[in-house]
Homo-oligomer: A and B are copies of this chain.
Amino acid sequence: MIVAMPAKPNESATLRQVAKQAGVHLSTASRALDPERRHLISRDIVARVEAAARTVGWRPNRAAASLRRGRSNAIGVLIPDMANLVTAQIMQGVETAIVSRGFFPLVVSTRATPAKAVVDRLLWQRVEGVVDASGDADMARALAKAGVPTVLTARADPEGLFSSVHADRECAANLAIDHLYALGHRAIAVLASPQDIQLSIDRLNFCLAALARHGLQPAAVAIADASTRDAGLRALEPLLARRAPQGPHHFTAVCAANDLLALGAYEAARKAGLTVPHDVSVVGQNDMLMADLVSPPLTTVRLQHYDMGRQAGDLLIEEIEARLSNEGTPRPPRVIVFRPEFVVRESTAAPSA
């Protein structure tokens, strides 16, 4: 029995060779090998073609198929950087959603690259859609201008042009503040993230609103210049310094805009000789990876980043497919809102004095 082996194991055989080996026409081979069109071909020919494909070592060639069908099957996934604990989860959710539907993620980190360059790269790759978790408003604008189907998630709010999936920010703020209030805290400091993206602005405003619902003013508001532990530390330190008991700036709890800032609050407290939660309670937001591993384990608002990523992926693919069928009619953007959960751990307690 003669078995044809691929010349170079590296360079895959073409459909033409498969067809020759199987003794059928090129296009018959193409159909037999495509699960979507296999049914058009008789059982035994399919088997023959499959065997032939195996012996010559055939692998489909994406570039050729993409070119011919005008579809890349690529989805751009935009994240600020690869080493971000919250977008990592989103990314993973998106991957899960799209891979099962035959698409694949093209992950691009945006922090170090101007929006225009990122979008150019995506267009050159002919991505069929984008999940944007970059939080960058420029990016959203550039994407809109390019006309790529896009779903924003978790970190940015467009001008209403795109679908988006995000957490209920008002609810998140209420969860945190209500928890502190219920514990008996009345003097609460707010540690906000840089007010350069909508997410951060919303978090601060809803936090203030939640305080107001209880008839409270914030004991202090600090705005960090980055979402890092150090920035949180720097922002909170001066406030802690002038925290004279019963003074106007005294506070017994800190409501931080995200978990990294909350860790900054830990550090600031430690430096001021205070312990968490005995002297000061701290609540974060995100429930990022590791939030349960710090000490004390962080009480925080859990946002379902993985699920939001999945949902964003699903929604995006729906939109891509909708576009392919009803060409003319652009469908209105959809907004999906996730309800956050509250996770009580050990960084909060009743005020001590």
**Measured between C-beta atoms, what is the minimum distance from A256 to chain B in Å?**
14
Q: Does A147 contact B (CB under 8 A)?
A: yes
A161 to chain B, nearest CB (A): 14
What is the total number of copies of this protein in its complex? 2
Residue of A8, A72, A124 with highest tally of chain B CB at under 10 A: A124
Tell me the minimal C-beta distance from A69 to chain B in angstroms.
9
A181 shortest CB reach to chain B, Å: 27
| Contact of A121 with B by CB under 8 A | yes
Which residues of chain A in 78-129 are interfacial with respect to chain B, using CB atoms and an 8 Å cutoff?
81-83, 85, 88-89, 91-92, 95, 104-107, 109, 120-121, 123-126
In the complex the two chains form, is B92's CB within 8 Å of A82's CB? yes
Q: Tell me which residues across on chain B come within 8 A of A120, comparing CB atoms.
A: 59
A side interface size, CB within 8 A: 45
CA distance A59 to B122 in the complex (A): 10
- Chain B residues with CB under 8 A of A107: 105, 107
15 pairs across A/B with beta carbons < 8 Å? Answer: A12-B123, A60-B124, A63-B63, A64-B67, A82-B88, A82-B91, A82-B95, A83-B88, A83-B89, A85-B85, A85-B289, A92-B109, A95-B109, A106-B106, A263-B293
